[in-house]
Amino acid sequence: MHALHWATLASEHSYPCSIEAFRAAIDLLPHFIWLGSTTAQRYHDISSAKNLAVGAVSAAILSSEHTLALEWLEYARCVVWSQSLMLRSPLNTLQSLYPELAAALQTVSDRLHLVSSSGFTSQGTDDSSITIENRLRLSRDYSALLSRIRALSGFEDFLQPKKGDAFARAARHGPVVVINCHGQHCAALVILPNQASVGHVPLPNVTEADARKAQTDMRSSLQRKHIRERGVRIMGQQDPNDCFAAVLAALWYNIVKPVLDYLGYTSNVPAESLPHITWCPTGILSFLPLHAAGDYSQPGSRVFSYAVSSYTPTLTALLASNPSTLTPDSRVLAIGQAATANHTPLPGIIDEIASIKSHIGHKHGFSQLMDDQATKNAVLSAMQEHHWVHLACHASQDVKDPTKSGFFLHDGTLDLMAINRCSFRNKGLAFLSACQTAKGDEELADEAVHLASGMLMAGYPSVIATMWSVADSDAPLVADKVYEQLMKKGKVGNGEAGRALHSAVAELRGKVGEKEFGRLKTKSITSYAGVIGPIITRAQTVPPTLLCLKPQPKNCMRLQLDFCLIPMGIGEPSVGPQIAECQRVLEKSGLTYKLHGYGTNIGPWSAVSKAIYDCHAAVHALGTPRIATDIRIGTRVDRQIAPGTGNDGKVQRVVDILAQDKK
């Protein structure tokens, strides 16, 4: 803890010793998060060091140590996840040269994994001290075996954290983009196929506070829409004050588009197959839908048009994943829970399972467990016997204990801890057609504690999961198109799951329209596969080439004016007509206003953004001014911060005039 405190202080005050401080803290991490502790205890312990990874990576980036940043990312993120993965690592090379050592290590690893799982007690006794003694003995045996193996020639780095030269292989199926945000600094690190050097993309318009605000706004929007859980809902009923579109636009302009520009994707869109990007966000960014980023009021301004998106919790997960091919002997398991006590019915599951069977049944073995057949023990037992699994049911993230997050089956919850105890071999795809399966725990953002990562840990190299809601009527269409695409090649692991999901989303967009917000949000995990969405009701953002017209907040209020006009473009001619029109409307309405000077507020986007923030901090989000009304006048934030100032009435007067002019 002292090392962590030293690192935090060094980072906050930009001391030259910050690299040494973080190195000391990271080196001590394995001793602090002891492998012999239970999983629950390790998650509890890591919570006190939850900002170590993002802080260390940021310090390394600021020192231009980009490769070191990736090494620390792997060492200090997903610590518990990586420890569990290490216990299940295949020992093929060791087995071929030193079979006795491999057998001994495999035995100890399996036992240590079992006794470390929360809730385990020694057979025939409730004496917890025996369990502690077992864990202590097994942990020592495990460490001793590792020391013996690493003393052998050629095994010096056996089960050690990956070094920089190994990361290039993570990008063998397309670029991998790590995005880190800590304090005032945000940047992307890009790993390109067949390139040893690590690319660096500064993201100056984003801070950690901005990202946290965006995540809060997004969560509030979801709660207002009541789409945190799969179910039947009335479509087309949207909250006019929804801010989701503003968050997606900010993510596009300030994070995703700069990365796509760096990769050259925005200027050269392939005619046939889109490139594949694997995103690896850290910290609070893990909860933001990078795959859905876009300004949906502008054509060609969304990531969906330029790349297929997938996610990974760690680079090691990409390195460890191997393609999985369905053979004639392979079997696919579908689990459907259409009626669950205390939850809304899911009638769409019947069609969903039927569509999967139509694609699988005549080519490979297919089994299904429906309703009262889908008990916890039956599902886990069937998963052992099948290569792919499709879960269509209700699910939830437990905010108090993330290891209790789970799928709601006939006889109770199949939770993350039960899944983590499993160690499946030779598995392929896990399609989690339920809600919040990739949501994660906000207190452990860098530990990837969600059902999707649990399936990865259990042995499924590709997972399709959801960040939020699945509309019950849309799930059958998505499943149908995903399996239709996957059956053409019959394999996953090379980005196929992400591409199949991308294709299914395109089909869904064509059906419901791109501007139907909240219909479906699914992500592919490659480690995760791809992402379904975004579907938006109406665009409520202004691109940076236009001007903003908004009620006076903060500094400008002292002038007792009604509005301010802020030119936002690259030169006066680009916004002149719009400014003149707004001036005409304001003067006609009898409202007073101030026109910000061209010399101050016009220029590069970064300069515009800073100027707006200086005078209008209350309406600034992720570097992008939030314009949230239908006609792009006024802002919900102003009205929340300064209620009773008359802004609503002022906006309405302009709205009335624009309506008369049919604008």
3-state SS string for 519-534: CEEEEEECCEEEEECC
Angle between the N-to-C axes of helices 66-76 and 52-62, in degrees from 0 to 180, rounded to the nearest 10: 170
φ and ψ of 196, to 5 deg: -80, -35
Residue with tokens 């073995």: 365
pLDDT for 16: 59
b/e per residue 444-471 (b: at least 16 CB within 10 A): bbbbbbbbbbbbbbbbbbbbbbbbbbbb
CA distances from residue 157 to 148, 150, 152, 169 in whole angstroms, order as listed: 12, 7, 10, 17
Q: How far apart are CA 154 and CA 164, in angstroms?
A: 18
At residue 21 the predicted structure's pLDDT band, cuts being 50, 70 and 90, is confident
Rounded average pLDDT over 422-444:
73
Q: How far apart are CA 52 and CA 89, in angstroms?
A: 26
First to last CA, the chain: 60
Q: Which two tokens stand for residue 586?
A: 């304001």
pLDDT for 472: 72
Fill in the amino acid letter for 359.
Answer: H
pLDDT for 120: 36
**Domain segments of the chain as ranges:** 1-119+129-151, 165-315, 324-491+507-512, 559-654
φ and ψ of 165, to 5 deg: -70, -15
Contacts of 161 (CB under 8 A, 6+ apart): 71, 74, 75, 316
pLDDT in tens, 495-527: 788 889 988 888 887 776 665 545 545 556 544
pLDDT for 633: 35
Contacts of 403 (CB under 8 A, 6+ apart): 39, 40, 43, 118, 415, 416, 417, 420, 449
Residue 485, classed as helix, strand or coil, is helix
pLDDT for 89: 74
Residue with tokens 């889908």: 374
Q: How far apart are CA 613 and CA 204, in angstroms?
A: 13
Residue 117, classed as helix, strand or coil, is coil
Q: How far apart are CA 616 and CA 391, in angstroms?
A: 47
Count of C-beta atoms within a 10 Å radius of residue 27: 11
pLDDT exceeds 60 at position 542: no
b/e per residue 62-80 (b: at least 16 CB within 10 A): beebbbbbbbbbbbbbbbb
For residue 601, the surrounding DSSP H or E stretch is helix 598-601
C-alpha closest to that of 402 among 450, 370, 436: 450
pLDDT for 377: 93
DSSP 8-state symbol, 464? E
At residue 470 the predicted structure's pLDDT band, cuts being 50, 70 and 90, is low
Please tell me the least confidently modeled range out of 15-24, 333-342, 629-638.
629-638
At residue 230 the predicted structure's pLDDT band, cuts being 50, 70 and 90, is very low
- The residue ranges of DSSP E strands in 412-452, in sequence order, are 412-415, 429-433
Q: Where are the alpha helices (DSSP H) in 229-337?
A: 244-251, 257-263, 315-320
Q: Are 394 and 360 in contact (CB under 8 A)?
A: no
Q: Are 533 and 248 in contact (CB under 8 A)?
A: no
Residue with tokens 């960040």: 467
No. of helices (H) and no. of strands (E), the chain: 25, 22
Q: Are 43 and 80 in contact (CB under 8 A)?
A: yes
C-alpha closest to that of 268 among 296, 310, 305, 295: 305
pLDDT in tens, 581-615: 777 777 776 667 667 654 333 444 445 445 555 55
CATH topology of domain 559-654: Alpha-Beta Plaits (3.30.70)
Q: Where are the alpha helices (DSSP H) in 88-236?
A: 92-97, 99-116, 128-150, 208-225
Fold matches, 324-491+507-512 and 559-654: no
Rounded average pLDDT over 250-268:
94
pLDDT for 654: 62
Please tell me the least confidently modeled range out of 111-115, 184-188, 264-268.
111-115
Q: How far apart are CA 244 and CA 238, in angstroms?
A: 11
pLDDT for 555: 47
CATH class of 324-491+507-512: alpha beta
Contacts of 644 (CB under 8 A, 6+ apart): none
Report the greatest alpha carbon distance in the chain: 89
* 463 DSSP β-pair partners: 430, 525
Assess if CATH 3.30.160 describes domain 165-315.
Answer: no
Q: How far apart are CA 189 and CA 177, in angstroms?
A: 6
Confirm whether pTM is higher than 0.85: no
pLDDT in tens, 347-392: 889 999 999 999 987 778 899 999 999 999 999 999 999 999 999 9
Q: Which two tokens stand for residue 571?
A: 């030169």
- The angle at the Cα of 423, spanning 332 to 137, to the nearest 5 degrees, equals 175
At residue 1 the predicted structure's pLDDT band, cuts being 50, 70 and 90, is low
Radius of gyration of the chain, Cα coordinates, nearest whole angstrom: 26
By CB atoms closer than 10 A (0-12, 13-18, 19+), residue 385 is exposed
* 302 DSSP β-pair partners: 294
For the four alpha carbons of 647, 579, 622 and 630, in that order, the dihedral sign comes to positive
pLDDT for 61: 94
pLDDT more than 70, % of the chain: 63
By CB atoms closer than 10 A (0-12, 13-18, 19+), residue 531 is buried
Please tell me the least confidently modeled range out of 1-10, 148-157, 270-279, 403-412.
1-10
Fill in the amino acid letter for 308.
Answer: V
Q: Are 11 and 59 in contact (CB under 8 A)?
A: yes
